Amino acid sequence: MTYPDSVRFLYSLANESRTAELGLARMELLLEALGKPEQCAEWVHVAGTNGKGSTCAMIESALRAAGRRTGLYTSPHLVEPTERIRIHGKPVAPEVFAAAFEKVHQAAEGLIRDGAIEQHPTYFETVTAMAFLLFRDQGVEVGVLEVGLGGRLDATNVVQPRAAVITPVDFDHEKYLGKGLDSIATEKAGILKPGALAVFAPQRQEVIPVLETQARLRGLSPVWVSDRWRAEDVVLGPEGNAFVAVGPTRIPVSCPLPGEHQVTNALTAITALELLGVSPEAIRQGLATVRWPGRLERVASRPDIYLDGAHNPAGARALAAYIERFHAGRRVWLIYGAMRDKAVTEMAGILFPVADEVIVTAPAQPRAVRPELIRELVDHPRLRTAPRLADALRMLEEAGPLDVVFITGSLFLVGEAQALLGPAEDRAGA
């Protein structure tokens, strides 16, 4: 099967958000048929609402700097599904991806024929199994896994992690995880396992007792909180941050991921890395060279164009704070598109007031919110609609060279923008 064939088949499968409803039995049967590749390496498992992707990228980069052969599994992708599976810092090549898909697909078909499962594993289950298979076959020593949705029933939650990390928990995916933060936090805490190191980022006050209770129920003591480290001499910049991480030792950090929230993510990553025995120098090198596309990523100049996958209220607040801190006095353009399962009105209420010009569009996805509906829900004195992102970009002909543009609201929209504005340098296959 060719790479395009494998991608078409994956896209035909059930939406990955349904995975949370299905449990882990099918995933476990699939992995058993593949020879239990999830047992091939040490794992760092990362859940949370915001910052988990960035934290995963930081941890993997530092582990690689320490000389470990790494795997990184994240979701969703921005342009190509190969981005989800990285081995030693590089996305797998399309032909490698297709070969892994063929093996997983054949195993799934065999389970269906034998009556062990009733239907093909979902997109997310399939690609997760592919990641485990490729990590085993390509000799990964330590893998960093980002939870797709929730934690307890996520397809990645079949591993016994060396470290389980929970980044800030906030409201998102309430349809699947529950309406209250206590319910959401309980689902995230499902990745905690007896014997694992447990690392928690700073949390909202009502989340802390939930996570502590879940850790205690699993016999995890002590629980390591990222305030074990603190940031001193912080210098926040539009293209990254510098600070000194002070804890059991002092680590000078220069991180190219912008936004004040990335300081918190870095301290969380540093806490996990220190407990995993990674040297301060490898931590410094790893954070200095980390890349995480599509999150406050500048992709063009004159005018500056930034991509940011702020897809929930907490992410919107972080983006608004960044705009107000670093781009005050500039004419700000916002190109916004969102999916129906998101808190669109709340997010727009946070982001639209910091923009001078708002263009509402729709990602090329069946679950996208129609731009006309957003215009009815949220008021702004200079709000226009565009059917598709390409139409919105043409409107930027009115922008001056000193203006600044943010494309945000959905990672699907960010991925479309990357494809339209030029390929990211790290999407070359490994």
Mark whether 262 and 330 lie in a shared domain: no
Contact 412, 339 (CB under 8 A): yes
Mean pLDDT of 349-363: 97
Mark whether 358 and 395 lie in a shared domain: yes
pLDDT of residue 45: 98
d(CA 265, CA 75): 17
Mark whether 285 and 326 lie in a shared domain: no
Provide the residue range defining the domain that includes 388. Answer: 295-427
Of 292, 410, 400, which is closest to residue 351 (Cα–Cα)? 410
Contact 222, 256 (CB under 8 A): no
187: phi then psi, degrees, rounded to nearest 5: -65, -45
pLDDT of residue 262: 96
pLDDT of residue 175: 56
Contact 410, 66 (CB under 8 A): no
pLDDT of residue 341: 77
Mark whether 283 and 310 lie in a shared domain: no
Cis peptide before 222 (omega within 30 of 0): yes
d(CA 172, CA 406): 22
Mark whether 312 and 419 lie in a shared domain: yes
Taken in order 297, 299, 303, 305, the sign of the CA dihedral is negative
d(CA 14, CA 234): 45
Mark whether 391 and 347 lie in a shared domain: yes
Give per-residue pLDDT as tens, 162-189: 999 999 998 865 555 656 899 999 999 9
Of 159, 148, 126, 134, which is closest to residue 26 (Cα–Cα)? 126
Assess whether pLDDT exceeds 70 at residue 19.
no
Which of 245, 273, 289 is at the close of a domain? 289
pLDDT of residue 426: 44
Assess whether pLDDT exceeds 80 at residue 430.
no
Percent of the chain clearing pLDDT 90 (strictly above): 84
pLDDT of residue 135: 98
Cα–chain-centroid distance for residue 171?
Answer: 15
Q: What is the CATH number of the domain that holds 421?
A: 3.90.190.20
Assess whether pLDDT exceeds 70 at residue 300.
yes
Instruction: Tell me the two tokens of residue 426.
Output: 């790290």
**Gyration radius of the chain over CA positions:** 21
Who contacts 415 (Cβ-Cβ below 8 Å, separation ≥6)?
76, 77, 78, 79, 294
Which of 289, 321, 354 is at the close of a domain? 289
Collapse the DSSP code of 231 into the 3-class scheme (helix H, G, I; strand E, B; otherwise coil) and give the result.
strand
Mark whether 229 and 157 lie in a shared domain: yes
d(CA 60, CA 86): 10
d(CA 178, CA 350): 23
Give per-residue pLDDT as tens, 128-162: 999 999 999 999 999 999 999 889 999 999 999 99
Mark whether 148 and 8 lie in a shared domain: yes
Of 152, 106, 159, which is closest to residue 128 (Cα–Cα)? 159
pLDDT of residue 15: 60
Mark whether 315 and 281 lie in a shared domain: no
Q: What is the DSSP string of 96-151?
A: HHHHHHHHHHHHHHHHHHTTS-SSPPPHHHHHHHHHHHHHHHTT-SEEEEE-SSSS
Collapse the DSSP code of 59 into the 3-class scheme (helix H, G, I; strand E, B; otherwise coil) and give the result.
helix
Domain count for the chain: 2
Give per-residue pLDDT as tens, 187-236: 999 999 999 999 999 999 999 999 999 999 998 867 888 788 999 999 99
Assess whether pLDDT exceeds 60 at residue 338.
yes
d(CA 103, CA 101): 5
242: phi then psi, degrees, rounded to nearest 5: -130, 140
Task: Tell me which amino acid residue 32 is.
Answer: E
**Segment (H or E) for 287:** helix 280-289
pLDDT of residue 428: 39
Task: Tell me which amino acid residue 54 is.
Answer: S
Give per-residue pLDDT as tens, 82-124: 999 999 999 999 999 999 999 999 999 999 999 999 999 999 9
Q: How many CB atoms lie within 10 A of CB 175?
A: 10
Cα–chain-centroid distance for residue 195?
Answer: 26
Collapse the DSSP code of 265 into the 3-class scheme (helix H, G, I; strand E, B; otherwise coil) and give the result.
helix
End-to-end CA distance of the chain: give it in Å, rounded.
19
Contact 429, 96 (CB under 8 A): yes
Contact 68, 278 (CB under 8 A): no
Who contacts 326 (Cβ-Cβ below 8 Å, separation ≥6)?
237, 238, 258
Mark whether 242 and 373 lie in a shared domain: no
- pLDDT interval class at 403 (50, 70, 90): very high
Assess whether pLDDT exceeds 80 at residue 22.
no
Which of 254, 289, 324 is at the close of a domain? 289
Of 338, 313, 17, 345, which is closest to residue 176 (Cα–Cα)? 17
Mark whether 267 and 302 lie in a shared domain: no
| Mode of pairing for the β-strands spanning 90-91 and 224-225 | unpaired
Helices 52-65 and 280-289, packing angle to 10 deg: 120
Report the phi/psi class of residue 48: left, alpha or beta, with left for phi > 0 and alpha for psi in -120 to 50: left
pLDDT of residue 222: 72
Q: What is the CATH number of the domain that holds 201?
A: 3.40.1190.10
Mark whether 302 and 421 lie in a shared domain: yes
